[in-house]
Structure 1
Amino acid sequence: MRQEPTRAFSIRDEKEYQIRQVLTEVYEALNEKGYNPVNQIVGYILSEDPTYITTYNNARSLIRKIDRDELLQTLVRSYLNAK
């Protein structure tokens, strides 16, 4: 029986993937409803007021499942890694 090589599993990578998925879905919901997604998401991050995010496609519930600090860390990390 051949064994597969051990793969490293990073909880941070999995968490970042989940955050990206949620942020993408929220962005798309805001865009479909005619909002400026970037402005709305920034407003939510700065105030933590969920009314910045539409309830359309369950976007508000989705974004509230993410810790705001983790969201900010992921955004900053992604921005800096892109440079």
Structure 2
Amino acid sequence: MSDMTKTKVFSSEDMRREMIRTNLETVIQALNERGYNAVHQIAGYLISNDPAYISSHKNARNIIQQIERDEIIEELVKSYLEKK
């Protein structure tokens, strides 16, 4: 059992990264369910800033717009470089 008297520290950077990851996973799932190529659709959105690239299925369009495009791109690049 954890000690509830101790303060738990959360990194805002970790929380931001987790939110981006979770939101992208939700959007990818919604796009896949509609038969879209999620990579192409998300790339189109990130390049053009046109939300029409993202289906409104399961509120995916609103979910992806909760995060600034530059933050998504930054996180994708960081994730790619960390895995190399």
Q: TM-score, normalised by structure 2?
A: 0.89
Unaligned runs of 5+ in 1: none
* Structure 1 runs (4+) greater than 2 angstroms displaced: 6-9
The corresponding residue for 1:58 is 59
The count of aligned residue pairs is 81
The corresponding residue for 1:73 is 74
Matches of 1:27 and 1:39 in 2, distance apart? 11
Q: TM-score, normalised by structure 1?
A: 0.90
Matches of 2:24 and 2:15 in 1, distance apart? 14
The corresponding residue for 1:38 is 39
Task: Write out aligned runs for 1:9-28 (5 A).
Answer: 9-28=10-29
Matches of 2:35 and 2:8 in 1, distance apart? 42
Aligned-pair distance for 1:12?
1.0
The Cα RMSD (Å) is 1.3
- % identical aligned pairs: 48
Matches of 1:37 and 1:23 in 2, distance apart? 10
